[in-house]
Amino acid sequence: MQEPSADRGYAVFLGLDVGKGEHHATALGPDGRRVYDKPLPQDEHALRALFEQLSGHGRVLVVVDQPASIGALPVAVARDVGVDVAYLPGLAMRRIADLHPGNAKTDARDAYVIAEAARTLPHALRRVDTGDEALADLDVIVGFDDDLAAEVTRVTNRIHGLLTQIHPALERAIGGKLHHKAILELLHRYGGPTGLRTAGKKRIANVVRPRAPRSHHAIVEAVMAALDEQSVTVPGTRAAELVLPQLADQLTALLAQREQAATQVEEMLDAHPLSPVLTSMPGVGVRTAARILLEVGDGSSFPTSGHLAAYAGLAPVTRRSGSSIRGEHPSRGGNKNLKRAMFLSAFASLRSDPVSRAYYQRKRDQGKRHNQAVLALAHRRIPTLHTMIRNSPLYNPQPSTQRPTAT
């Protein structure tokens, strides 16, 4: 599909505020007249009937606010009928909604805002990539991996909390290695300080050695030293040592699921032509490349690197007050997933890319804090990423002289 635009001769602009069980559909003609304005069930036959009915007026553009998840069925049916599809990003929709009278947030009002934006502000729309079954599959696996990551964090924090409560020294000794197989096995077998002390150094070493051949001695010594630091038993220790093995088992299973998800993501990513391009950029691994691909697609929605920087929330915002200019500050808007991916990849590149490291250090020397310097680096990498996605060259390690500019 080409970019949606007002000059393509659309006779109907259909805005769909999608919902889990029901959508609201508002269709406008080129003159703004309402052609249709009713709730619509989340049902293929009802969707197909509406799209075919509206096609009787001429060319139809369907615009949704969520092209994935609950909006996937309307998008699929519209494509099958031969209707063009686009989506209105949430941030753009909220800003456009502020221009319309009324403060009530209803499905009918949202559907109207979407349709009106499609009719009058086609530049605010984004293309829904066609034929991207692979991207749809990738989106499901990446979303599942994100859920797993959140669960890993939750369980890890619970273990940290219990260890800190009953034996702070032991938490300091093993807290930084909770994802290590040796540590998880110790917690699985012995629970906590009482069980570890009862097991003794020899048994602990027998558990750790095969799971940490190079570092087993340091781990065992750290555990034994920590146990010697506290002789009293804190109230709640008994219950905590019943819970800790279960949490360790949960964490072990979650980490194994994440490994499996990473393998699936890598297999799906390998089938995409942009995979070797994205992963050639320092700091961009499989998960980050998948996230960038899902958020940016083939880059056709971003005419310049400045548009991509603004979409990612990395373009600096100039704050003015009257005649005074208070300088540039990081944007608080943009696509949060893309911004996080760019930040993490920029941070990871510091270990492997001398050009990135030199730029980061220059920003630190200018007085910027760590996060500010990494954000500046992420912003600097946008033109390179934009060129790579649009033209498919591999990463060029030469420092970029182009700054992202938006129009």
Q: What is the pLDDT of residues 312-364, one digit of tens each?
A: 999 877 655 555 445 556 677 788 999 999 999 999 999 999 999 999 999 99
In this structure, of 121-135, 261-275, 375-389, the range with the lowest mean pLDDT score is: 121-135
261 with 282, same domain? no
pLDDT exceeds 80 at position 396? no
294 with 385, same domain? yes
pLDDT exceeds 60 at position 388? yes
Residue-averaged pLDDT of the chain: 88
179 with 252, same domain? yes
24 found inside a domain: yes
396 found inside a domain: no
144 with 118, same domain? no
Order of strands, edge to edge, in the sheet holding 12-17? Answer: 34-41, 22-28, 12-17, 60-64, 84-87, 126-127
Confidence of residue 70 (pLDDT cuts 50, 70, 90): confident
| Residue that is last in its domain, among 131, 166, 201 | 131
407 found inside a domain: no
Q: pLDDT value at position 65?
A: 84
Which of 140-144, 169-173, 391-395, 397-401: highest mean pLDDT?
169-173
| Residue that is last in its domain, among 265, 286, 308 | 265
153, containing H or E segment: helix 133-166
126 with 13, same domain? yes
Q: pLDDT value at position 60?
A: 94
pTM of the predicted structure, to 2 decimals: 0.71
Q: pLDDT value at position 401?
A: 44
Closest CA to 382 of 328, 341, 329, 332: 341
Q: pLDDT value at position 400?
A: 45
224 with 151, same domain? yes
Domain span holding position 308: 275-391
| Residue that is last in its domain, among 265, 296, 322 | 265
251 with 290, same domain? no
Residue 256 burial (CB < 10 Å; 0-12/13-18/19+)? exposed
61 found inside a domain: yes
259 with 282, same domain? no
pLDDT exceeds 90 at position 128? no
For residues 149-165, average pLDDT: 97
DSSP secondary structure letters along 1-57: -PPP-GGG--SEEEEEE--SSEEEEEEE-TTS-EEEEEEEES-HHHHHHHHHHHHTT
240 with 305, same domain? no
404 found inside a domain: no
Phi-psi label, residue 82: left if phi above 0, alpha if psi -120 to 50, beta otherwise: left
307 with 225, same domain? no
CATH of the domain at 14: 3.30.420.10
CA angle 92-95-100, nearest 5°? 125
Residue 100 CB neighbour total at 10 angstroms: 12
Q: pLDDT value at position 231?
A: 94
Q: pLDDT value at position 95?
A: 67
CA distance 186 to 180: 10
37 with 124, same domain? yes
Contact present, 318 and 169 (Cβ < 8 Å)? no
112 found inside a domain: yes
Q: pLDDT value at position 120?
A: 86
pLDDT exceeds 50 at position 5? no
110 found inside a domain: yes
CA distance 358 to 379: 15
342 found inside a domain: yes
| Domain count within the chain | 3
200 with 116, same domain? no
126 Cβ contact partners less than 8 Å away, ≥ 6 residues apart: 86, 87, 88, 89, 301
pLDDT exceeds 60 at position 301? yes
265 Cβ contact partners less than 8 Å away, ≥ 6 residues apart: 138, 141, 142, 145, 286, 287, 290
Q: pLDDT value at position 291?
A: 94
